[in-house]
Amino acid sequence: MTREWREYERTNTAVLSAYVQPIAERYLSRLAGGLKEKGLKGSPYIMQSNCGVDSLESVSKIPITMVESGPASGFWGAAELGKLIGEPNVLALDIGGTTAKCSLIEDGEVKIKTDYWIERDRTSAGYPIMVPVVDLVEIGNGGGSIAWVDDFGKLHVGPQSAGAMPGPAAYGRGGTNATTTDANLWLGRINRDYFCGGEVVADMASAETALSGVAGKLGVDATEAARGIIRIANNNMVNALKLVSLNRGHDPRDFTLVAFGGGGAMHGVALGQELGVKKVVVPAGASVFSAWGMMMSDLRRDYFVTRLAELTPGSAAGIEAIFAETEDRARAQFAAEGVAADKVRMLRYGKFRYQNQEHTTEVLIAEGAITDERLAEIQAAFHETYEREYTYRLSAPVEMVGIHLVASAEVGKLTMAKREATGTPSEAALKGHRDVDYALEGVARAAIYDGTKLEPGMTFSGPAIVEDPGTTVVIHPGNQVEIDGYGNIHIHL
């Protein structure tokens, strides 16, 4: 199932996929049968960890390719949104109930890698798999992350989570631990009278008790403890964002932060200010943005072939032959599923390294046949990519270790209709005002806006809060806000 080097990783991938294959096949078969009974005429597509979808039949054979399909759909959505609004360079941040996940998108392309580890943490080596997975960093920080104080009096947030049951103390389901959600509620960042879109009555007494427990160990009051929880959570997430940007040679100031998930908009501005990004964009329907990303995905398959070749005169023909052979195989597979050859888009990547190195750096190869004249161009691209990531380059010979071919075809996407500015003043969406504690900037009287009433062209300034049934957007003092024609919230820092 994988045609790359590294025997242990290949074996591990095969074993893990075989382990889940019978269960996944039964589940997918029942899903297809149930949808057919409900009147679905076509066959459903299944989201993959490579930011594309694949046929149910194909996924049933190799289910390990679904391993990070949820986060992948969100990051693909961020890439598609970036193209839509003219922001091809995006730092994507997805904050849910238990985790925060982030990925970097450059020139509209999501980076895919094949050295991924499942269940890897500080105490477990985890399990390596060699399937195409979106390049992401994931940490245990979300709305349900538990705040705790260690034996040395130091405050921590996560990675333990209160989950959905019992959940944060404010859920009123018996939870006794203070969480990020409890801190946001206590500081007025979340509306206690509109908790979970008004579906849950916030148990502020339990939230106070939980926060006071943390505060007592720190020798402060509940409000100061809540501020500390927010600041620690934000710091953890900033470090994760740095791992996918600064640590890989990218300057966050060249990127736009797209924050989504139930908690992304609540922390996005604070994180963006810390990183110095151009602006923060909160997508329309941020709480279900990953589902939107799935609807924008293409039918996609990644092909890997290991083949050693030095980038010297005379080697171009052999490299071109490998790509051509793999492209023919991809077209044949697509044709067998009714996709015409002219509908299939190919992207070529090469896996290169300096001679005698162990690991490779992947480089996008521009369109066109590979000739001896183009080898210098490919080498230059490798040197540039390598230096950006590792801060230096070598004068050693460059060799190709293998190829990575991406074959994709559109199978039906949502078409987004842009609306013109309505001219409606932002006051039409104003619900009122309340005091909000911004943790670092202190308490400010914030304007509260109804997210369902925001119209294209509306503008306003922070401090402000936008309340949507699925999420809360925290806009800090001094931020300038505008609503675009697609309903996205642009926050200029």
pLDDT at 131 over 60: yes
Per-residue pLDDT at 208: 94
Report the distance separating Cα 50 and Cα 408, nearest Å.
Answer: 11
- Six-digit token pair at 23? 């269960």
**Core vs surface per residue 345-361: b (16+ CB within 10 A) or e:** eeebbbbbbbeeeeebb
Per-residue pLDDT at 387: 93
Report the distance separating Cα 91 and Cα 69, nearest Å.
Answer: 18
Task: Give 422-436 as a DSSP string.
Answer: ----GGGGEEEEEEE
Q: Which residue has the tokens 């924008």?
A: 296
Average pLDDT over residues 423-444: 93
What single letter denotes the amino acid at residue 480? Q
Side-chain-side CA neighbours of 148 within 13 Å: the count stands at 13
Average pLDDT over residues 130-155: 91
Average pLDDT over residues 277-287: 94
pLDDT at 330 over 90: yes
* pLDDT tens for each residue of 196-233: 887 888 899 999 999 999 999 999 999 999 999 999 99
Average pLDDT over residues 272-280: 95
CA distances from 341 to 325, 328, 345, 407, 409 (A): 15, 10, 9, 11, 9
128: preceding bond cis by omega (within 30 degrees)? no
Per-residue pLDDT at 98: 86
pLDDT band at 422 (very low <50, low <70, confident <90, very high): confident
246-254 long-range contacts (CB < 8 A, ≥24 apart) are 248/104, 248/388, 248/389, 249/387, 249/388, 249/389, 249/390, 249/391, 250/104, 250/106, 250/388, 252/91, 252/276, 252/277, 253/277, 253/278, 254/89, 254/278
pLDDT band at 183 (very low <50, low <70, confident <90, very high): very high
pLDDT band at 1 (very low <50, low <70, confident <90, very high): low
Report the distance separating Cα 258 and Cα 245, nearest Å.
Answer: 14
pLDDT band at 437 (very low <50, low <70, confident <90, very high): very high
Per-residue pLDDT at 116: 87
Average pLDDT over residues 175-184: 93
* pLDDT tens for each residue of 370-418: 999 999 999 999 999 999 889 899 999 999 999 999 999 988 888 888 9
Assessment of whether the complete model's pTM goes beyond 0.85:
yes
Percent of the chain with pLDDT over 90: 72
3-state secondary structure of 354: strand
Higher pLDDT, 1 or 116: 116
Average pLDDT over residues 317-321: 94
Average pLDDT of the residues of the chain: 92
